[in-house]
Chains A and B, each alone.
Chain A
Amino acid sequence: EVQLVESGGGLVKPGGSLRLSCAASGFSFSGYSMNWVRRAPGKGLEWLSSISGGSGYIYSADSVKGRFTISRDNAKNSLFLQMNSLRADDTAVYYCARYSHGDHYWYFDLWGRGTLVTVSS
């Protein structure tokens, strides 16, 4: 089955760190760029970061640059998000999502169910 499964969420204190994981299955993981997207309570979807199949291209939203780092291990079909210096407004459900892109399209074609991160003292 083609799927993405996130893990690693939980309760963390402000200023703390957390590492999220996303396990991919059912497709050729190394052939796809992957992303992290979040949705904070009462807010909309927010794209955070993307990484190309070979990790050669990494892009991040300004809101997380310098604090969050995306990475991947193609041998283990896994995507990661290292989150440092966490703040209360980082509280959200974090989704792993697969990019599908070509000459005339660029969109998310596969989503995980998400993992909840709560930043609170």
Chain B
Amino acid sequence: QTVVTQEPSFSVSPGGTVTLTCGLSSGSVSTSYYPSWYQQTPGQAPRTLIYSTNTRSSGVPDRFSGSILGNKAALTITGAQADDESDYYCMLYMGGGIVVFGGGTKLTVL
């Protein structure tokens, strides 16, 4: 069974830069998995940030960017703000209509 891995938690200072990653328990993440990233704050619906590795969803500020770093997908937040404190999920397309979320990263801004 394929497991999508993310750091459970991360901390960044206000104004700082943080890179969250999304890997596979077996193998490498490539653009063929069409990595996407979602932000969710408590009590809110998920918000789509990035799709197809590095395309920002409508209305998402350009301090959010996506990429492939080594064998993982990555979400970089540049100039972190207090309201970036959220849970972040990556999602990979596995083919055959199946998608899998990572376990999520809880980002603290302090």
By the criterion of a CB under 8 Å from any partner CB, how many residues of chain B are at the interface?
27
B93 touches A106 (CB 8 A): yes
Q: Which single member of A108, A112, A114 contacts B91 (CB below 8 Å)? A: A108
A107 touches B51 (CB 8 A): yes
Q: Which single member of A47, A106, A113 contacts B101 (CB below 8 Å)? A: A47
Q: Which single member of B45, B97, B100 contacts A112 (CB below 8 Å)? A: B45
By the criterion of a CB under 8 Å from any partner CB, how many residues of chain A are at the interface?
24
Given A95-B46, A105-B34, check contact A44 B102 (CB 8 Å): yes
Secondary structure dominating the interface of A = strand
- With a cutoff of 8 Å between Cβ atoms, the chain A residues found around residue B100 in the complex are 47
B98 touches A107 (CB 8 A): no
Q: Which residues of B are at the interface with A, using a C-beta cutoff of 8 A?
A: 31, 34, 36, 38, 40, 44-48, 51-52, 55, 57, 87, 89, 91, 93, 96-104
